[in-house]
Amino acid sequence: MHLNWLGQTCVKIQTKNQDEDVIIMLDAYRPKEGDFPRNLAPQIALFSHGPEEIVTMAQNTFVVDTLGEMEVKGVMIYAMPGSDGNIMFKVNAEGMNIVHLGKITKKIENADLEKLSGADILFIPVGGHGEYLDAEKAAELVTTLEPRIVIPIGYQCDTDPKVGTLNDFIKEMGLKPENAEKKIIIKKKDLPQEETKIMVLEKNY
């Protein structure tokens, strides 16, 4: 499985279903500034806060922007209610559970936390400033959810220059992250077994 971060809460997941590559885009919303693709052609596109201001998608893209659960091209997708009317996604592919919290700004209710249990990889927004969880709340949520890998998103970059920095979150976590990568390649057998690991993606598309 290949993982990329495109800025804001936008993530690209490339997985395999038998011999076919399956590309999943999460939160491909057009930013007000900075570099971002004008159009995309994933097989699956997931949107956490509605269909407005999204980039142009290929006609055959399977789009999810409402609650529910479904299987598409061998990928199980669970779209669950989050805070602020936001949708949280749990994606199961290659035997791994990937959780994407969308553009949340508030703590998640305990009843909703149970639905997110068993996360192998957690994408969590950490930039605060009324746009995302702040670093302190994000770190608390990571401690609660206990994912095997946490990947921070929604921090300061060219498309999001006014939110908090990655370092704010790293300090709150008190863990040394892996070196930043433009792409993370991960297999189930590579997941850490003992403790949560922070992996950092540089903005890249």
Residues contacting residue 160 through CB under 8 Å, at least 6 positions apart:
7, 8, 31, 34, 127, 131, 154
Instruction: Spell out the per-residue pLDDT of the chain, length 205, in tens.
Output: 999 999 999 999 999 988 899 999 999 999 999 999 999 999 999 999 998 999 999 999 999 999 999 999 999 999 999 877 899 999 999 999 999 999 999 988 887 888 898 999 999 999 999 999 999 999 999 999 999 999 999 999 999 999 999 999 999 999 888 888 999 999 999 999 988 999 999 999 7
Task: List the one residue out of 71, 87, 111, 5 whose CA is nearest residue 79.
Answer: 87
DSSP E strand stretches across 55-160: 56-57, 62-64, 68-72, 75-81, 87-93, 96-100, 121-125, 149-153
Burial 146-179 (b: 16+ CB within 10 A, else e): ebbbbbbbbbbbebbeebbebebbbebbeeebee
Q: Where are the domains of the chain?
A: 2-198
Q: What is the C-alpha to C-alpha distance for residues 83 and 192, in angstroms, rounded to an integer?
A: 29
Class of 2-198 per CATH?
alpha beta
Q: Is the pTM of this model over 0.75?
A: yes
